[in-house]
Amino acid sequence: MDRQRRVVITGMGTLAPNGNTTKTYWDALCNGQTGVGPITKFDASDFRVRFAAEVKDFDPSRYGVDRRSARRMDLFTQYAIAAAVQAVENAGLDLGAERADRVGVVFGSGIGGIRTFEDQHDAYRNGGPRRISPLFVPMMIPDMSAGQVSIHLGAKGPNYTIVTACASAAHAIGNAAREIWDDEADVMITGGAEAAITPMAVGGFASARTLSTRNDAPERASRPFDADRDGFVIGEGAGGLVLEELGRAKQRGATIYAEVVGAGYTGDAHHITDMAPGGEGGARALRRAMRQARVNPENVSYINAHGTSTPVGDPGETAAIKAVFGDHAKKIAVSSTKSMTGHLLGASGAIETIAATLAIYHSVAPPTINYETPDPECDLDYVPNHAREMPVDIAINNSFGFGGHNAVLILRKFDN
């Protein structure tokens, strides 16, 4: 694809289980610090799974959301605003001085306002239909992540939310880049948000046997690619990024963290939860993104893997990487930061794209912690347990979702 416009990342904001800012999140990743622990958001004593990766000490007022406004938003929307505000501040953008119709918002959320749905269903069951809040629907629907961010920041350009399960945020970031490539916007605020540590969500995933059950050692439960993995750890939070057209970013002297050069999407057309055999759909997404980015396999330094710590998913992703990269696959640093954050579902692609961006910017590959016992089916370099200083010129972020949704993003070190 011959593009006249280039897209760069000039701002990032993070609200993660192991850090409420991008700096604390990155420091935690590099130091192998987990955000997993016992569930505190509800009484999980009767649940099969009693731990998760929760955001700690969140205060929406720090991001301009007062108490009255917070009561009118589900937690996932508050998280989205927090990450977006951080990203805009990090980018040094004065949105009041921008053409509002050239600033857009695309966010992703896999589940949306499930806590609101549960609370309002309880209100209905206990008091009848008149107890249902008039704000129920606008608090619950997933599109309010993008909607409320645009209202909060005054962005009037392209505005929508993508729902593709655990690929939602990666699709959102890729589409945000395309809005700039296609000259529909000059600045895009993008990312993903999720707040699904609730009784129904935890109970549902546990019933589906997708969650780890290491209740006796939750901090060791998320162990991507390890032979003893037994499922993922549900997490929550948000990641926000500012994407900007290169010329205007340079004109205003912005810090440029990396360039977005490719986005590849495919569908498995196979199963509602399991990857296609051999990671075939993921491999096609990788090839599409690399073709768009004009990247050869030997140029890739680092992959932030989807790496959920499930028995089926990790070998499938490994197979996809090997199918695309051949002999070079074993020379690529492949890590899953979900080992420290748990799985943020629709927000995972956002905080993991931030991790891949910072891997490029700081020349460090974050580790996969809890990697103790190699699995013969997972035989790549997973950067076990300790961060690795290394040059990272091209990084990839993989995101795969229930329903067979595959999204791959490619980032390049900015070199003028």
pLDDT in tens, 325-349: 999 999 999 999 999 999 999 999 9
**Is 133 in a helix, a strand, or coil?**
coil
User: What's the structural domain count of the chain?
Assistant: 1
DSSP classification of residue 279: G
> Cα–Cα distance between 42 and 176 in angstroms, integer?
35
Pairing label, strands 364-365, 388-389: antiparallel
Range of the domain at 386: 8-402
The mean pLDDT of 107-114, rounded to a whole number, is 98
Q: Is 306 a catalytic residue?
A: yes
In this predicted structure, the answer to whether residue 4 has a pLDDT above a threshold of 90 is no
Q: Is 378 a catalytic residue?
A: no
Residue 3 inside a domain? The answer is: no
CATH of the domain at 50: 3.40.47.10
* Predicted confidence (pLDDT) per residue in 270-284, tens digit: 999 999 999 999 999
Q: Is 171 a catalytic residue?
A: no
Of 30, 152, 171, 306, the active-site residue reads 306
Q: How far from 237 is each of 77, 83, 87, 226, 246, CA to CA, in Å? A: 10, 9, 14, 25, 29
Residue 51 inside a domain? The answer is: yes
Residue 407 inside a domain? The answer is: no
* Predicted confidence (pLDDT) per residue in 162-213, tens digit: 999 999 999 999 999 999 999 999 999 999 999 999 999 999 999 999 999 9
Q: At what angle do helices 348-362 and 168-181 cross, to 10 degrees?
A: 60
Residue 117 inside a domain? The answer is: yes
In this predicted structure, the answer to whether residue 297 has a pLDDT above a threshold of 80 is yes
Residue 334 inside a domain? The answer is: yes
Residue 301 inside a domain? The answer is: yes
Residue 413 inside a domain? The answer is: no
pLDDT of residue 1: 45
Of 166, 171, 378, 405, the active-site residue reads 166
* Predicted confidence (pLDDT) per residue in 38-95, tens digit: 999 999 999 999 999 999 999 999 999 999 999 999 999 999 999 999 999 999 999 9
Of 152, 171, 343, 405, the active-site residue reads 343
Residue 411 inside a domain? The answer is: no
